[in-house]
Structure formats: structure tokens, C-alpha cells
Amino acid sequence: MSDRSLSPTFPPKLALYFSPKACSLASHIALEESGIAYEAVSVNIRNQENRNAEYLRLNSGGTVPTLAIDGQPLTESQAILTYIADLVPERQLMPRPGTLARARAHEWMNLISSSLHVSYRSIFRPQTYGGEDQAAMAQVQQQGGKNLAKYLSLIESRLDPANTYATGETFTVVDAYLFVFYLWSYDERIHCELPERPRYRALAERIAARPAVQKVVGRERTVRAYDLPDHILLDKVTA
């Protein structure tokens, strides 16, 4: 059951601090799927709004997403996604606590956050690991590409083609999280060869067709335009 004692009121007052097409997109989708009222607050990372004093008071790490819950900040995607899902257990955005299915959902999210996301970061922001030395950054990017290919192949192998979604027949926050990193695999900054991923593509297309996903992607693209793969059906993505 949902532990609604986490907030003195239910539903709590929620504000999501996000940046378009960042990993915060998963939390943005989860909130829309939850049906709970929330405020979406855009943080312009390109202009370093995440580094200003006001935002750092909310999240000292300067990252997105941040979910303010009755004014109290919660950070890290997996924590936020789990919290949102547990607010509305009737929506089945996470399997029930104490089940193997629940553990599997966390297994998925740990793989995404600790391995897949890190691989992308190595390519997009190599200075995080290699400093400002050009040769070191090039090496980080090269290894990041190899790691990305490895983890995309792993995800492809773990997706059961008999299932509609990643964990079964029900859409969960795992799907929202996977969707973000599928979009990232088409980023123009990726120059390495990536493996074929038909199962992942089919999953992403099903996720993209959901009304909540259409709404959120449309909203984010009005804040800052960004490209999507052609097969994600741009004509359906509206604000």
C-alpha cells in the first residue's frame, strides 16, 4: 500500500523541476501518468540555471530532476519515480512492494541509472571523467561509446518480445525511464556504431503513443525544441 504519511496532506503539493529531454523526462511522464496535479518548472541547464543560488538551495547537487513535495526536495530519478508510483498504487506504475516483480523494476532502474546513463554522460560530457585534457576526453568518449553499445545490447536481450511493456503488460515508471534513453540513442553527438535494437524500438513506439507521453513531450518541446526519431511519430506529439 502507498505510505501517504510521507506528506501531511494528500495529495501533496508537487512541483517538478525539469529540463527538456533530460533524464527528468521520465519523472515528468510519471507525474502525468499518475493523474495527480503538479507544477512543471523548467530549469535551463544550458544557461546554468541549475547552478544559481536559488536552485542550489533546493538541490545542492544542481541536478535535475528535483521533485518538491510540499516544499521538501527529493532528488535522483529512481527515488522520484518510486515515490510517484507509490502515491497512486491503483495506477500500478510500480509492482507491489515485497514482490519479485518490484525487485525486478528496481533492477531495471539501477541498470539504467548506474550503467546506461553513465555511458551517455561519458559521450556528452567527457570532461566529467577526463578533465579538460583533450586526449583524455577523447578516450573517455571512445570508451563511453563501447559501454553504450554493450548496455543497449543488454537491454535489448532483456526485453521480452511477448510483453507489451518492460516488466509485463502494464506500463510502469521503468518504461518512462527507458523511453528517455532510447531518445538519447539518436543524439547527433553519438558517432559510434550502435547495435540494432528492434525490441527497444517497438517498446519506445508503444510508449510514445500513450496520451500522457504525447502531452509531456509536446509541453517540453514548447519550452525548448528538440528532435525526435521519425518513427516516434512527430505528428502526434502536441502540447
pLDDT of residue 179: 99
* Residue range 159-186, pLDDT digits in tens: 999 999 999 999 999 999 999 999 999 9
What's the longest Cα–Cα distance across the chain?
A: 53
Average pLDDT value for the chain: 95
pLDDT digit string, tens, across residues 40-58: 999 999 999 999 999 999 9
Q: Please, which residues bridge with residue 14 across strands?
A: 69
Q: Are 141 and 126 in contact (CB under 8 A)?
A: yes
Distance from C-alpha of 189 to C-alpha of 124, rounded to nearest angstrom: 7
Taken in order of first residue, the domains within the chain and their CATH numbers are: 4-91 (3.40.30.10), 100-210 (1.20.1050.10)
Amino acid at 120: Y
Name the pLDDT band for 235 (thresholds 50, 70, 90).
low
Look up the pTM and report it: 0.94
pLDDT in tens, 74-110: 999 999 999 999 999 999 999 999 999 999 999 999 9
What number of helices (H) and strands (E) belong to the chain? Answer: 10, 4
Task: Give the residue with greater pLDDT, 84 vs 2.
Answer: 84
Contact 206, 200 (CB under 8 A): no
Alpha-carbon distance of 125 to 187, in angstroms, equals: 13
Q: Is the pLDDT confidence value at 234 over 90? A: no
